[in-house]
């Protein structure tokens, strides 16, 4: 198996890992007023990006 020719420095290693740390999710407010996580359908009214994607009996 191939081996690296140089040691990866702590700085370069940490820069690569900088996107792995996830902080609190981005909270938005739906048109109905409920807080939702970004890029998810609203669980109370069933809309996503202004469109109805979940019917009311499913939600």
Per the structure, the complete domain to which residue 59 belongs is given by 27-59
- Report yes or no on 38 lying in a domain: yes
Separation of alpha carbons 14 and 42, rounded Å = 36
Write the pLDDT tens digit of every residue in 21-52: 777 778 999 989 999 998 999 988 999 988 89
Q: Considering its fold, how many domains does the chain have in total?
A: 1
* Dihedral of alpha carbons 18, 20, 24, 30, sign: positive
Domain assignment of residue 54, yes or no: yes
**Which tops the pLDDT comparison, 58 or 37?**
37
| Residue 32 belongs to a domain | yes
Measured CA to CA, the distance from residue 6 to residue 1 in angstroms comes to: 15
Does residue 16 fall inside a structural domain?
no
In a domain, 22, yes or no: no
Q: Is residue 36 part of a domain?
A: yes
User: What tokens does 3 get?
Assistant: 């081996």
pTM to 2 decimals? 0.51
């Amino acid at each position: 198996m191939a081996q690296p020719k140089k040691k990866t420095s702590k700085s370069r290693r940490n820069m690569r890992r900088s996107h792995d740390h996830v902080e609190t999710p981005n909270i938005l407010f739906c048109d109905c007023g409920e807080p939702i996580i970004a890029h998810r359908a609203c669980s109370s009214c069933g809309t996503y990006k202004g469109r109805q994607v979940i019917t009311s009996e499913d939600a």
